[in-house]
Amino acid sequence: MAIGENIRKLRRKQDLTQAALAEKLYVTSQAVSQWERGVTIPDLAKLDEIAAILHTTVNVLVADRDSDRNFSVKDSLSSAEHMFSRMITYAETENLRQTFHALQYMKEKHAGQFRKPSLFSDAKVPYITHPLLMACHAHALRIREDSILAAVLLHDVCEECDVTPAELPVSDEAAEAVALLTYRKDPAADEKAARKAYYSGITGNRIATIVKVLDRCNNISTMAGAFSEERLVAYIKETEEYVMPLLDHARRTIPEYADAFFIIRYHMNSVLESLKSMLLRLT
């Protein structure tokens, strides 16, 4: 792997000693030396810091110029503008009035917000890319109920934009689902108990259940590019502890979308197992 060699070359280009780089990163000089000699590699989260200090990107930092692995990572799986136009067309032609209003409301409330940046790119991805991709995914899987698609589009609005479910331009059942999907962290509460209660509430609501499994499917599909190694491990564990059982529950209790849930489960399992193999390879 060329990470160590690239760190050495870029460090020297910035006229930094190993000790100076180590001080900026709050690590030891020995750690930097081991990276540059290929004995160890930096943690995923640390790569972002190294790239910033060396005035480069993680993509450049990890590139192996002597192999066929010198490729770029896409900033987004699809264009937000294209997906918005697609969903507006569906809303108009299929008479999905809640979806139509949710699209406009979501676009307004998430304006100026961006997704967490990838470790491999400095590009800013509009936040609406996430709910739009979920909505397009749901529609492609033939999940086309107006209340479900509206809840998909608005599922993060209350949590990220400081609005209440009562303010949402949708039906009561869609607003109730969004309320259940909104996680409010209480510093005084036990995190594990709070997380368990959160998923328990979702399990009892058909729309919230569908939206949550779509949300997690989208998130695990892109998290490798944005999460630190520690966050990646925690997210995999949470997915296996809470979301996979939720998906099994959905397959049993919402039979009309059994085929969609089968595809979602297959995709999620494939991504999770690939990520776990990658993490084990790094240890």
| Residue 75: predicted pLDDT | 73
Could you name the CATH architecture of 3-62? Orthogonal Bundle (1.10)
| Residue 251: predicted pLDDT | 95
Tokens of 121: 């790119």
| Residue 38: predicted pLDDT | 85
- The contacts found for 199-205 with CB under 8 angstroms, 24 or more apart, are 199/242, 199/243, 199/246, 202/246, 203/246, 203/249, 205/176, 205/177, 205/180
| Residue 225: predicted pLDDT | 73
| Residue 1: predicted pLDDT | 52
Provide the CATH topology of domain 80-282.
Hypothetical protein af1432 (1.10.3210)
| Residue 69: predicted pLDDT | 57
Closest C-alpha to 220, from 161, 276, 166: 276
CA distance 69 to 64: 6
Tokens of 46: 């640390």
CA distance 53 to 14: 9
CA distance 70 to 203: 43
Tokens of 168: 């949402």
Distance of CA 170 to the CA centre of its chain: 25
Radius of gyration over every alpha carbon of the chain, rounded to an integer in angstroms: 21
Query: What are the residue ranges of CATH 1.10.260.40 in the chain?
Result: 3-62
| Residue 226: predicted pLDDT | 75
| Residue 119: predicted pLDDT | 66
Tell whether the torsion through CA atoms of 149, 153, 159 and 164 is positive or negative.
negative
Tokens of 255: 């039979």
Strand (E) or helix (H) holding 167:
none
Query: What are the residue ranges of CATH 1.10.3210.10 in the chain?
Result: 80-282
CA distance 187 to 205: 26
Per DSSP, the chain holds a count of helices (H) and strands (E) of: 16, 0
| Residue 184: predicted pLDDT | 84
CA distance 227 to 229: 6
Q: From the CB of residue 108, how many other CB atoms can be counted at a distance below 10 Å?
A: 11
| Residue 132: predicted pLDDT | 97
Q: Is 134 left (phi over 0), alpha (psi -120 to 50) or beta?
A: alpha
Per-residue pLDDT of the chain (283 residues; tens, 9 = 90+): 578 888 998 999 888 999 999 999 999 999 999 999 888 888 877 888 898 899 887 777 877 655 555 566 677 778 999 999 999 999 999 999 999 999 999 999 999 999 877 766 667 889 999 999 999 999 999 999 999 999 999 999 999 999 999 999 999 999 999 999 999 888 888 989 999 999 999 999 999 999 999 999 999 998 777 787 888 899 999 999 999 999 999 999 999 999 999 999 999 999 999 999 888 876 6
CA distance 80 to 92: 18
Whether 227 contacts 279, CB under 8 Å: no
Tell me phi and psi for residue 159, to 5 degrees: -70, -40
